[in-house]
Structure 1
């Protein structure tokens, strides 16, 4: 009986277990009316490789971050909020006989899985044909709401040429998304750019007026409208007030991280050069017609591994760069300073005053030409538009002054020197704003220029060391500064020997910083 009881008991338990398995199937998926979309946002990226000795940044790490977020949410997209084709040290280099001009950025970002980009002001630093090539090479989408292509035949949207033909860069873009429970939503995008770089082939419309107009059109068919911008944060704030229905503003331009909330709208800007990314989680409640955003600042550092495929693309371009640098006498990886305060090369600072970086550059030129009475450097030669963090390598100096150029020695009359200094002072806010020796000052009361506390004598000859570009007459409001000016007394031979720091201002700065000690 005991054995028989155990046998029947076992059969009963198996039957119960079978019934239980059949009755505990997963409940059906129900559309909850809510959907979350994740945007990995970067902006102002000029470097494809990690910086600070490999500790921060790197497009290959951005690629990994996108993949990590995709694993959590299939509706994840990588966004570039402008400024990535220029400025870059690569823009002064050539590959296969052509100027690189941002080609390394497009190839790296293609590999990283960039989905959308808007124009930054620096996209228009390069030639029209070069920008066209970069757009054609890109596998991501562009949005241009207030920037248009100006040609001889008129103003029209920019175009991208693909294997299937030409496609216009749209003013807006509408994306359909769906999640695993079936919730569907439409998200509208606009891309706004500040009218900072007024080059011949670009036409701008007012960014705020464009935003108001396009939002009124998008809101009729979209569940949420997002602005991707390259504006000053003050303009982003005005945008948020004038278009309060926006779900999110993802911006660029400042280079340092920005985070604001105007009403219900978050404004997010990551650190330049992919030192961080904003991961913005946008949730759309389709039924109640509301949106909410959870912004998350993610630092891009050694905690994020490099995506192998993108890392190979980056290595290809780094090798191309190093080959070019070596031919010019540089050792790109050598550390020349490993401690001290960061060096400020931001355009808004160096084009309106002096910074620790510009003081070093001028001091280096003085050291290279100890006989100079005055040193002159146009701020536009400094193209890094960033704050250089320690450690500083030779590569950092190369990317700071990507075009290099020799230090030219000239004897000129004081009358011409005064005219040059005055033009530089009037060029505030542009690349023609001059950096000069600490001994030179402008007396605002007497409205006179002084050298070592003595007025510059218009009739006297002064030995001036200056960036060679200045003597071409090509700088803003300085067409008069050229070899034919009668107040030029003597132009000394250009130094070309790599062993002499006068041959390249970058070599002079590197030598000066290295001699100061680490």
Structure 2
């Protein structure tokens, strides 16, 4: 069954946008074009047992749209170089893959334009990020993100385009024509929330620079649309503050949604190309009317895979499959059917306790019973997507791409309170925010298993080894406490399991 969710809005642009079309001798005719929108794509192959997503299917859809009109532009609203299991593996040269699998697949798919998402800056090595940008056949665009160069100079990022180094523009113009030769110029800009902090990244104020770009684009285009990697609330606020832009193609929220603010449509597709938005547009040069008919399209087995793109996907999937099997994992093995959607998005797990966090600490307790409390840093949970349907070994491994074991420590109650103050309050919004088991706060006081924490009592905790070693932000004081880190753990049922978060969680789900 074809699943489409149509939305549409007829926009009057002359009141808001300058006229730049030179009148020909005859009456110019409407110009049709299609914008194909993706956002937040970390996986190149289908998920949910092959039933959802897959960039080779998106490539096939794009080719079908090109049969409707040659005026098709494909865009991604940020977040694709990271995070993923593949991105954390290395090439034969020793270089981190760091999104190369996405670059090659999106190149094969035919992506035209991209803006930065916060996860592009997961790459700590600015030179490696620059290399990945240069390997893209598609163009980057951003109005409010700048690079901090050696010596402290702040300037636009650069990208190699047809063998020449060019500045990543604030906006880029794409010209569409009809079969009579009439043309219109579409300007695209990009905006990113200042989430990921890196020494080489500088963020400009969003609204101020959006206004600046709109003013500049008016003299060089007929219509401007935006690729936004903002929260839905920020998208709505920006559309209200800066009216007149007909379309925000957004990302960051990971679940499909659409909003209307004044004369602006805001759309976001599901992460990992489980859905895409198709915006069918018609621009009338005479009336300056722009009609946008937007449809949400589910990417599923009803769409065949494009062979060229699939060949690239298969190459990278084979590499991951070999790596996982060499480490004893069967990626396709189904572990359980989920009764509810597991909340794994970064914005959730770094700000509050989620059911995915609950399941993880339960898995820790199953593998290493006997502690008073269980804690894991949310930064180790890197899938940044919700899980529904069935869960496989691959889902678990991609959720914890860094792996890593657990340690048991004994802390006095006073220090445990300090750990909780930092891990559950000061580190909120960061990777050092903790998902916990048997911890609660009642009337401003921390409790373990329903009892107030005694400052002088010693408590046994099981916690990520990374955190126990003092490596997490603001938690360096834990390094002074002895940590027991066995190679193998004995579960509640007496089974031996490797002390690695992936093995621990797989063992727990196997019991469902």
Give the TM-score of the pair, scaled to structure 2: 0.90
The residue number in structure 1 matching 2:388 is: 389
Which residue, out of 462, 474, 477, partners 2:474? Answer: 477
The residue number in structure 2 matching 1:27 is: none
Superposition deviation, residue 375 in structure 1: 0.9
Superposition deviation, residue 171 in structure 1: 0.9
- Unmatched runs of 5 consecutive residues or more in structure 2: 1-25
Which residue, out of 72, 76, 80, partners 1:84? Answer: 80
- Partners of 1:31 and 1:181 within 8 A in 2: no
CA–CA distance in structure 2, aligned partners of residues 71 and 429 of structure 1: 45
Considering Cα pairs closer than 8 Å and 6+ residues apart, tell me whether 1 or 2 has the greater RCO. Answer: 2
Superposition deviation, residue 453 in structure 1: 2.4
Which residue, out of 467, 487, 498, partners 1:495? Answer: 487
CA–CA distance in structure 1, aligned partners of residues 314 and 340 of structure 2: 29
- Partners of 1:145 and 1:191 within 8 A in 2: yes
- Partners of 1:175 and 1:186 within 8 A in 2: yes
Matching of residues 24-35 of structure 1 within 5 Å: 32-35=28-31
- Unmatched runs of 5 consecutive residues or more in structure 1: 1-29
Deviations 1:442-472 (A, max 9, x none): 22x2x33222222223333322211111023
Secondary structure of 2:435's partner? Answer: strand
- Partners of 2:34 and 2:279 within 8 A in 1: yes
Higher deviation after alignment, 70-79 or 240-249? 240-249
Secondary structure of 2:53's partner? Answer: coil
- Structure 1's consecutive aligned runs of 4 or more residues displaced over 4 angstroms after TM superposition are 496-500
The residue number in structure 1 matching 2:511 is: 515
Deviations 1:287-311 (A, max 9, x none): 2222121111111111110001111
Matching of residues 49-64 of structure 1 within 5 Å: 49-64=45-60
Deviations 1:171-216 (A, max 9, x none): 1111222111221111111111111112111111111111111101
The residue number in structure 2 matching 1:170 is: 169
CA–CA distance in structure 2, aligned partners of residues 471 and 502 of structure 1: 18
Matching of residues 2-17 of structure 1 within 5 Å: none
Superposition deviation, residue 357 in structure 1: 1.0
Question: Are residues 1:67 and 2:45 paired?
Answer: no
Secondary structure of 2:248's partner? Answer: strand
CA–CA distance in structure 1, aligned partners of residues 404 and 475 of structure 2: 18
CA–CA distance in structure 2, aligned partners of residues 307 and 99 of structure 1: 27
Number of equivalences: 479
Superposition deviation, residue 136 in structure 1: 1.2
Deviations 1:80-125 (A, max 9, x none): 0101111111232112122111111111100000000000111111
Matching of residues 340-489 of structure 1 within 5 Å: 340-426=339-425, 427-437=427-437, 439-443=438-442, 445=443, 447-482=444-479, 485=480, 488=481
Superposition deviation, residue 256 in structure 1: 0.5
Superposition deviation, residue 346 in structure 1: 1.5
The residue number in structure 2 matching 1:224 is: 223
Give the TM-score of the pair, scaled to structure 1: 0.89
The residue number in structure 2 matching 1:16 is: none
Superposition deviation, residue 162 in structure 1: 5.2
The residue number in structure 1 matching 2:134 is: 136
Higher deviation after alignment, 162-171 or 297-306? 162-171
The residue number in structure 1 matching 2:245 is: 246
Secondary structure of 1:352's partner? Answer: coil
CA–CA distance in structure 2, aligned partners of residues 423 and 491 of structure 1: 19
CA–CA distance in structure 2, aligned partners of residues 276 and 454 of structure 1: 46
Superposition deviation, residue 507 in structure 1: 0.8
- Partners of 1:369 and 1:502 within 8 A in 2: no
Superposition deviation, residue 497 in structure 1: 9.0
The residue number in structure 2 matching 1:43 is: 39
- Partners of 1:31 and 1:182 within 8 A in 2: no
Superposition deviation, residue 339 in structure 1: 4.1
Superposition deviation, residue 412 in structure 1: 2.8
CA–CA distance in structure 1, aligned partners of residues 489 and 418 of structure 2: 32
Deviations 1:413-434 (A, max 9, x none): 3332221111112222222111
- Partners of 2:160 and 2:166 within 8 A in 1: yes
Superposition deviation, residue 382 in structure 1: 1.0
Which structure dedicates a bigger proportion of its chain to helix?
A: 1
Secondary structure of 1:388's partner? Answer: coil
The residue number in structure 2 matching 1:118 is: 115
- Partners of 1:224 and 1:284 within 8 A in 2: no
Secondary structure of 2:384's partner? Answer: coil
CA–CA distance in structure 2, aligned partners of residues 501 and 345 of structure 1: 24
Which residue, out of 147, 150, 170, partners 2:148? Answer: 150
CA–CA distance in structure 2, aligned partners of residues 163 and 299 of structure 1: 34
Secondary structure of 1:491's partner? Answer: coil
The residue number in structure 1 matching 2:205 is: 206
Question: Are residues 1:506 and 2:505 paired?
Answer: no
CA–CA distance in structure 2, aligned partners of residues 460 and 297 of structure 1: 56
Superposition deviation, residue 164 in structure 1: 1.9
CA–CA distance in structure 1, aligned partners of residues 485 and 379 of structure 2: 24
Superposition deviation, residue 170 in structure 1: 0.9
